[in-house]
C-alpha cells in the first residue's frame, strides 16, 4: 500500500478528479457531490456533459502536461470515465495523487490483443480468436474463426471498428478498410444471451458485485438492459460463475475501481468473456434507481477509501437507452421527444445527459423503469417505448 493510499479515507470537502467529461463523468459528479466532494473534470470539449455540472472544468487535452499537473496537484484522487484515456496520463497523475484504475490496468484493457491474452491467462474462457497485425495472419487463421468478427484492437466502441466477416477474403477486405491497424479476429459463436457483471474493488481488496444485467444490442449499441433479482436463485450457478470470473479478472489486474465484464452465454449454457470496461458501464445505469448504492457511488467510495456500499437490487429494472435518433421524425425534421408522456409512467426514471446536439446513434440519455417484479417493470417499459417509438419486446 502506498503512502497516498495510507492517507485514506479522503474526507468530504476534498477535490476529486475525473479524466473525461462525458455522461459517465457527469453521473460521477452527481454522486461525488452528494457525498460532499468537489470535482474537477479534465476534458478538451467546451460543452462536455460533465463540465457543465463539475465544480471546475479544466479544458485541455488528456495528455496536456500542464493540465495533468494542475489536476494531480488539486485532487486527492482521480478516476476516469472512458477506456481510451492515455494510460501514460494516468501514470503521470499517480505521481501526485491516488489514481483508480491504474494506468497499467487501463493499458491492458484498451488494447483488444492484450485484453484477450490477459483474460485467457486469468483462466477465463473467451471466444476462439487470433491477433492480426498483418494480412498473413488472416491467411493463416484457423478455419473455425469463420464466420467471425474482425475488431480493431484499439479505439473501438459501440460497434465501431468492427466488421462481420464470413470468409478470409471478407476479413482481408475489412482489414484493409480499417487501414491495416492491429485487429483481433474472433469466431462468431451461437449465442443464447449476453450479460454484463458490474463490480467494484477497493484498495483493501473488498469487492461488491451487482446482479448481472441481460443486454440487448442494436447496431452494436446497447439498447435494453434487464435485471431481475427474483431470478437470481434460478440462475445461481451461471451468475456465480460470472461473478467469480469478474473477481478473478479484477484481482489479476490489481484493479481498483468500478469494472464491467461482458459475457456471452452460448446455446449450450457455457459462458465466455467478451470484453472488459475499466469504468462504470451503460448496463449498470439501473443501479442509480434500482440498487442501494449506484455504480457511481462505488466509484467515489473506492477513490476516497470509504467502505463499499451494498450492491443489493431492491427493484427489478428495465433500462432503455435514448439515442439521438428520437429527436428526428420520419421526414428528418428535428423535434423534442415526448418527455411528459414518458413521465406519466410512475416508475419511469428519466436521465438526460445535457448534450446540446442530438445526432443519430449518439447516446443522449436513458430511462430506467423499476418495479416490484420484472413483469411490472416490463409493462411500464413497454408503455414508455410506445410513447417514444422505441423498439421493445
pLDDT in tens, 175-215: 999 999 999 999 999 999 999 999 999 999 999 999 999 99
Helices 236-253 and 112-121 sit at what angle, rounded to 10 degrees? 110
Residue 189 assigned ligand-binding role: yes
| Residue 32 is assigned to a structural domain of this protein | yes
pLDDT at position 303: 98
Find the CATH number of the domain harbouring 292: 3.30.470.20
Instruction: Give the count of domains, the chain.
Output: 3
Q: Is residue 115 part of a domain?
A: no
- In-domain check, residue 118: no
pLDDT, tens only, 221-246: 999 999 999 999 999 999 999 999 99
Same domain for 215 and 323, yes or no, is yes
Q: Are residues 174 and 206 in the same domain?
A: no
Q: Are 296 and 351 in a shared domain?
A: yes
In a domain, 286, yes or no: yes
**CA distances from residue 308 to 138, 227, 295 in whole angstroms, order as listed:** 45, 21, 10
Question: What was the pLDDT predicted at 268?
Answer: 95
> How many whole angstroms separate alpha carbon 306 and alpha carbon 8?
8
Residues 370 and 222 in one domain: yes
Was 151 annotated as part of a binding site? yes
158 known member of a binding site = yes
Known binding residue 27? Answer is no
Which domain-ending residue is among 167, 187, 207?
A: 187
Q: For residue 388, give the nearest of 371, 280, 352, 246 by alpha carbon.
A: 352
The pTM of this model reads: 0.95
**Within a domain: 207:** yes
Which pLDDT score is estimated for 1? 38
DSSP string, 257-311: EEEEEEEEEETTS-EEEEEEESS--GGGTTHHHHBSS-HHHHHHHHHHTPPPPP-
Which stretches of the chain score pLDDT less than 50?
1-3, 6
Domain end, chosen from 187, 212, 235, is at 187
- Are both 45 and 178 inside the same structural domain? no
Whether residues 134 and 206 share a domain: the answer is no
- 188 is annotated as contributing to ligand binding: yes
161 marked ligand binding residue: yes
The pLDDT assigned to 3 comes to 41
Q: Which three cell numbers stand for residue 96?
A: 501526485
Give the structural domain span for 143: 128-187
Does residue 246 lie in a domain region? yes
Angle, CA of 189, 185 and 160, to the nearest 5°: 90
Pair type for strands 77-80 and 98-99: parallel
162 in a known ligand binding site = yes
pLDDT computed for residue 219 by the predictor? 87
pLDDT at 158: 58
The Cα–Cα gap between 38 and 42 comes to: 14
Q: Say whether both 66 and 144 belong to one domain.
A: no
Task: Say if residue 159 is in the same domain as residue 198.
Answer: no
Predicted confidence at residue 220, as pLDDT, reads 86
Is residue 84 a part of any domain in this protein?
yes
122 part of a folded domain: no
The CATH number assigned to the domain holding 146 equals: 3.30.1490.20
Q: Are both 181 and 195 inside the same structural domain?
A: no
Q: Is the same domain home to 318 and 204?
A: yes
End-to-end CA distance of the chain: 49
Q: How far apart are CA 178 and CA 231, in angstroms?
A: 42
Half-sphere exposure (CA, 13 Å, Cβ side) for 304? 26
d(CA 107, CA 238) in angstroms, rounded, equals: 29
Is 236 known as a binding-site position?
no
Q: What is the pLDDT of residue 5?
A: 53
CB crowding 311-342: b at 16 or more within 10 Å, else e: bebebbbbbbbbbbebbeeeeeeeeebeeeeb
Task: Please tell me whether residues 168 and 208 are part of one structural domain.
Answer: no
219 and 345 share one domain: yes
Q: Is 186 annotated as a binding residue?
A: yes
Last residue of a domain, one of 143, 165, 187: 187
CATH number at residue 35: 3.40.50.20
Amino acid at each position: 500500500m502506498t503512502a497516498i493510499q495510507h492517507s485514506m479515507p479522503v474526507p468530504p470537502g476534498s477535490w476529486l478528479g475525473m479524466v473525461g467529461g462525458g455522461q459517465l463523468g457527469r453521473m460521477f459528479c452527481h454522486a461525488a457531490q452528494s457525498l460532499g466532494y468537489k470535482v474537477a473534470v479534465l476534458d478538451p470539449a467546451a460543452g462536455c456533459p460533465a463540465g457543465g455540472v463539475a465544480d471546475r472544468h479544466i479544458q485541455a487535452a488528456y495528455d496536456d502536461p500542464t493540465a495533468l499537473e494542475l489536476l494531480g496537484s488539486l485532487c486527492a484522487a482521480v478516476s476516469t470515465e472512458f477506456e481510451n484515456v492515455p494510460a501514460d496520463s494516468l501514470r503521470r497523475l499517480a505521481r501526485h495523487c491516488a489514481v483508480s484504475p491504474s494506468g497499467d490496468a487501463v493499458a491492458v484493457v484498451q488494447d483488444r490483443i492484450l485484453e484477450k491474452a490477459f483474460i485467457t491467462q486469468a483462466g477465463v474462457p473467451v471466444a476462439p480468436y487470433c491477433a492480426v497485425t498483418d494480412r498473413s495472419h488472416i491467411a493463416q487463421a484457423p478455419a473455425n474463426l469463420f464466420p467471425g468478427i474482425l475488431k480493431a484492437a484499439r479505439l473501438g466502441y459501440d460497434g465501431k471498428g468492427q466488421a462481420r466477416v464470413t470468409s478470409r477474403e471478407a476479413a482481408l477486405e475489412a482489414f484493409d478498410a480499417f487501414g491495416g491497424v492491429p485487429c483481433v479476429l474472433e469466431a462468431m459463436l451461437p449465442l443464447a444471451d449476453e450479460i454484463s457483471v458490474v463490480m467494484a474493488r477497493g484498495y483493501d481488496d473488498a469487492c461488491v458485485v451487482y446482479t448481472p444485467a441481460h443486454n440487448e444490442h442494436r447496431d452494436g449499441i446497447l439498447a435494453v438492459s434487464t435485471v431481475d433479482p427474483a431470478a437470481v436463485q434460478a440462475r445461481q450457478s451461471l451468475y456465480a460463475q460470472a461473478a467469480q470470473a469478474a473477481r478473478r479478472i479484477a484481482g489479476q489486474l490489481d484493479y481498483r475501481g468500478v469494472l464491467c465484464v461482458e459475457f456471452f452465454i452460448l446455446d449450450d449454457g457455457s459462458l465466455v468473456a467478451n470484453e472488459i470496461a475499466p469504468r462504470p458501464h451503460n448496463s449498470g445505469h439501473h443501479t442509480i434507481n434500482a440498487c442501494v448504492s449506484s455504480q457511481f457511488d462505488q466509484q467515489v467510495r473506492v477513490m476516497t477509501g470509504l467502505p463499499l456500499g451494498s450492491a443489493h437490487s431492491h427493484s427489478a429494472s428495465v433500462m432503455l437507452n435514448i439515442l439521438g435518433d428520437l429527436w428526428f421524425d420520419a421526414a428528418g425534421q428535428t423535434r423534442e421527444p415526448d418527455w411528459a408522456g414518458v413521465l406519466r409512467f410512475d416508475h419511469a426514471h428519466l436521465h438526460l445527459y445535457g448534450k446540446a446536439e442530438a445526432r443519430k446513434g449518439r447516446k443522449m440519455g436513458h430511462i430506467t423503469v423499476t418495479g416490484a417484479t420484472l413483469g411490472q417493470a416490463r409493462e411500464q417499459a413497454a408503455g414508455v417505448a410506445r410513447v417514444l417509438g422505441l423498439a421493445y419486446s
